[in-house]
Structure 1
Amino acid sequence: MTDELYARLKAYEGQAAAASGVGKDPVNEPMIRHWCEAMGDSNAAYAGPDAVAPPTMLQVWTMGGLSGHAGRTAAQDELFALLEGAGFTSVVATDCEQEYLRPLRPGNRITYDAVIESVSGRKTTKLGTGYFITTRTDVRADGEPAGTHRFRIFKYAPRARGPKANRPRPVINRDNAGFWEGVAEHRLLIQRCGGCGTLRFPWLPGCGCCGSQDWDTVEASGSGSVFSYVVMHHPPFPAFDPPFAVGLIELAEGVRIVSSVVGVAHDKVRIGMPVALEFTSVDGEFELPVFRGVQGGAD
């Protein structure tokens, strides 16, 4: 059955997922501004009369939104239905790759084609067993090639849930070791550039404003507010109990950090809600900074 199923899945390689798709809006300044504000990106190239769009927005101009995609074919739906019928009912996005061929500027009209580029052999992961599916979208601006976006998902049958697993450990390297040393002491440290004084987070080896590699640290006061947030429902992971809120927290010092919002029900978290820093012990082995929300504190 496995070989037969894989042969049927492979038959979808090369089939169009979208044909002659048209972006719902031309490249435009408001969407660029919203993106840059959300990302905290103040690069001067993305504003003013000669503005270009951030390259990583390539996929944005092809997205269908709540009303759906234009030019979408039936092939991808058929492929998903085949997998779901075989028991591979869950899905998680795993990664994407982008190649940029030319800058996108306000006013550019976006068109695109997408193809099911590859279906992997059957793979077993911590989430379960399934297949990786890669879709390639070729993006054009005013008819000229602008870039390529590859998006990979894992369509899988979830593993039976056993005892709760340990939480994933942070990756500690020479660039962020000082941050984790501070966390172990219940101190949230922010880098401060030795050249221009700009505060930055997450920790980086050099300043994005002036390029200086000299820096020291300041300790965060611990106060902040929810700048944005998501409520995680899927995919289920043994170390976590969904649903739970993950917030982009704007600290009083002006930098932002991604962390858990605790002390408030996941459906009560709101943008603008004031939060306060605290630390929690994980598996008795390491500390994590989290933020306790104040219900009803948002405007």
Structure 2
Amino acid sequence: MDDDHLHLRLKAYEGRPAAVAGVGRDPVNAPMIRHWCEAMGDANPAYAGPDAIAPPTMLQAWIMGGLGGPGSVHEGRARAYEELLSLLDGAGCTAVVATDCEQEYLRPLRPGDEVAFDTVIESVSSRKTTRLGTGYFVTTRTEVRVGGALVGTHRFRILKYAPAPDAATAAPVAAAAEAHRPEPARADGLRPRPVVNRDNAGFWAGVGERRFLIQRCVACATLRFPWLPGCNACGSAEWDTVEAGGRGTVFSYVVMHHPPFPAFSPPYAVGLVELAEGVRVISGVVGVPYDKVRIGMPVELEFQVFDDELTLPVFRAREGAA
């Protein structure tokens, strides 16, 4: 099937349902809100107490299908979306990566709200070539409702692609050989670049100078990370920065096992690191094998150079930590 014919078939799915009459697995509830806020380090009083609301960015959390998978009756996934993904698989676009999401909020969600949702396939791009491989961007739009009233919209975009040759030929035995490698795999020119925008440009400028800068609210002195345009404690838009000393501990972590592609070589550990200053940072944990990372492990900041254009902050286990 040539590209033009395939694209026409893919475009025919635009506007068709991806999920119909989906229902959240659980009502909006205080325990999930608490876990979310603890993981994010967000102590905003609006998210606790008898008049609590849910953090707006939890919108997707209430509609996810969970470990039951696509067949879950709660998810309501429609046949058209499965057909679209199968068509892409048949064209060799067997790999998938989430690229971005956009959310709009009409009113806060509160404990006890029962959410329902419908999702449509909003757009399918023309064939695109990326560093990961060649494929198609698929965007879905989900409308979330409570009691029939629209409360928010969630757009989610994935890239379904045919892995670049190096990724397609990565042998399982090679991944096994790397299993106890203490550093994340490095692949010049292939490591994904961070998204730099007007809200976080100052942070990345600091990284370029080998400084880890944390925002500090001028009004109430609350420290925050990641960088935000306003204070999540008092709402002030005025801020300055403090430089992190670099010491911290592993607050939580996951071990990534996704299929190998050139920029990474799984399995490897990604940590939620709590800095001495009190903020938490998601980054790679290096210096020890992935299976030796532990909650409470002391770590120290370092800046890892991947190529001439990319330097990233990572956290190295302090000597004797393993």
Question: Residue by residue, what CA displacement relative to the aligned partner does 1:205-238 show, whole Å, maximum 9, x if unpaired?
Answer: 7654453736463551x33211233334447554
Question: Residue by residue, what CA displacement relative to the aligned partner does 1:111-143 show, whole Å, maximum 9, x if unpaired?
Answer: 111111211111112221111111111111122
Aligned partner of 2:291 in structure 1 is 267
8 A contact 2:44–2:232 mirrored in 1:
no
2:218 pairs with 1:217: no
Query: Matches of 1:106 and 1:57 in 2, distance apart?
Result: 12
| CA separation of 1:279 and 1:93: change in aligned 2, threshold 3 A | closer
Question: Residue by residue, what CA displacement relative to the aligned partner does 1:144-164 show, whole Å, maximum 9, x if unpaired?
Answer: 111111111010111223994
2:224 pairs with 1:200: yes
Query: Matches of 1:214 and 1:27 in 2, distance apart?
Result: 33
Aligned partner of 1:80 in structure 2 is 85
Q: Identity, % of aligned pairs? A: 66
1:154-233 maps to which residues of 2 (within 5 A)?
Answer: 154-161=159-166, 164-166=187-189, 167=191, 175-176=202-203, 179-180=206-207, 183=210, 188-193=212-217, 195-202=219-226, 207-210=231-234, 211=236, 213=238, 215=240, 217-220=242-245, 222-233=246-257
**TM-superposed deviation, 1:241:** 3.4
Q: Which amino acid aligns with 1:49?
A: P
**TM-superposed deviation, 1:52:** 1.1
8 A contact 2:43–2:233 mirrored in 1:
no
Aligned partner of 2:158 in structure 1 is 153
Question: Residue by residue, what CA displacement relative to the aligned partner does 1:48-74 show, whole Å, maximum 9, x if unpaired?
Answer: 111111111111111111113322222
TM-score, length-scaled by structure 2? 0.79
Question: Residue by residue, what CA displacement relative to the aligned partner does 1:237-276 show, whole Å, maximum 9, x if unpaired?
Answer: 5444343322221012211223220112223323333323
2:138 pairs with 1:133: yes
Aligned partner of 2:100 in structure 1 is 95
8 A contact 1:192–1:218 mirrored in 2:
no
With 167-176 and 75-84 compared, the bigger mean Cα shift is at 167-176
Query: Matches of 1:203 and 1:99 in 2, distance apart?
Result: 20
With 207-216 and 39-48 compared, the bigger mean Cα shift is at 207-216
Aligned partner of 1:247 in structure 2 is 271
Q: Which amino acid aligns with 1:62?
A: I
8 A contact 1:122–1:131 mirrored in 2:
yes
**TM-superposed deviation, 1:36:** 1.1
8 A contact 1:92–1:235 mirrored in 2:
no
Aligned partner of 2:112 in structure 1 is 107
8 A contact 1:129–1:159 mirrored in 2:
yes
**TM-superposed deviation, 1:168:** 5.9
2:62 pairs with 1:61: yes
Aligned length: 294
Query: Matches of 1:201 and 1:248 in 2, distance apart?
Result: 12
Q: Which runs of 5+ in 1 are unaligned?
A: none
8 A contact 1:259–1:291 mirrored in 2:
yes
**TM-superposed deviation, 1:104:** 0.9
Q: Which amino acid aligns with 1:124?
A: T
8 A contact 2:244–2:277 mirrored in 1:
no
**TM-superposed deviation, 1:178:** 6.7
Query: Matches of 1:89 and 1:29 in 2, distance apart?
Result: 38
| CA separation of 1:296 and 1:18: change in aligned 2, threshold 3 A | farther
Q: Which runs of 5+ in 2 are unaligned?
A: 168-185
Query: Matches of 2:317 and 2:114 in 1, distance apart?
Result: 43
Query: Matches of 2:265 and 2:149 in 1, distance apart?
Result: 47
Query: Matches of 2:293 and 2:25 in 1, distance apart?
Result: 31
**TM-superposed deviation, 1:82:** 1.1
Aligned partner of 1:12 in structure 2 is 13
TM-score, length-scaled by structure 1? 0.84
| CA separation of 1:283 and 1:179: change in aligned 2, threshold 3 A | same
With 243-252 and 233-242 compared, the bigger mean Cα shift is at 233-242
Query: Matches of 1:293 and 1:236 in 2, distance apart?
Result: 24
Query: Matches of 2:231 and 2:85 in 1, distance apart?
Result: 45
Query: Matches of 1:125 and 1:178 in 2, distance apart?
Result: 26
SS at match of 1:245: strand
With 257-266 and 143-152 compared, the bigger mean Cα shift is at 257-266
Query: Matches of 1:296 and 1:18 in 2, distance apart?
Result: 51
